[in-house]
Amino acid sequence: MAALSSMFLTLPIILLSLTVHEFAHAATADALGDPTPRWEGRLTLNPLAHLDVFGTLALIITRRFGWAKPVPINPAYFKNWRQGMALVGVAGPLSNVVLAFLFALPYRLGISMPYYFDLISYFAIIINLGLASFNLIPIPPLDGSRLLLVFLRGKNLYIYQQLEQYGQFILLLLIFTGATSTIMMPIMRFLAFLISGRRIL
pLDDT for residue 163 is more than 90: no
Residue 201 lies in a domain: no
Query: Which of 14-43 are b and which e, b meaning 16 or more Cβ less than 10 Å from the residue's Cβ?
Result: bbbbbbbbbbbbbbbbbebebebbeeeebb
Any idea which residues carry the catalytic annotation? 22
Number of folded domains that form the chain:
1
Backbone angles phi, psi at 68, to 5 degrees: -125, 180
C-beta of residue 131 within 8 angstroms of C-beta of residue 61: no
Residue 71 lies in a domain: yes
Would you state the torsion angle of the CA atoms of residues 78, 74, 135, 173, taken in this order, to the nearest 10 degrees?
Answer: -140
Residue 167 lies in a domain: yes
Residue 67 lies in a domain: yes
Residue 31 lies in a domain: yes
- Span 126-142, average pLDDT: 90
pLDDT band at 105 (very low <50, low <70, confident <90, very high): very high
- Span 127-139, average pLDDT: 91
Residue 108 lies in a domain: yes
**pTM attached to this predicted model:** 0.89
The Cα–Cα gap between 14 and 59 comes to: 7
- For residue 152, give its domain range: 2-196
Residue 57 lies in a domain: yes
Residue 184 lies in a domain: yes
pLDDT for residue 3 is more than 60: no
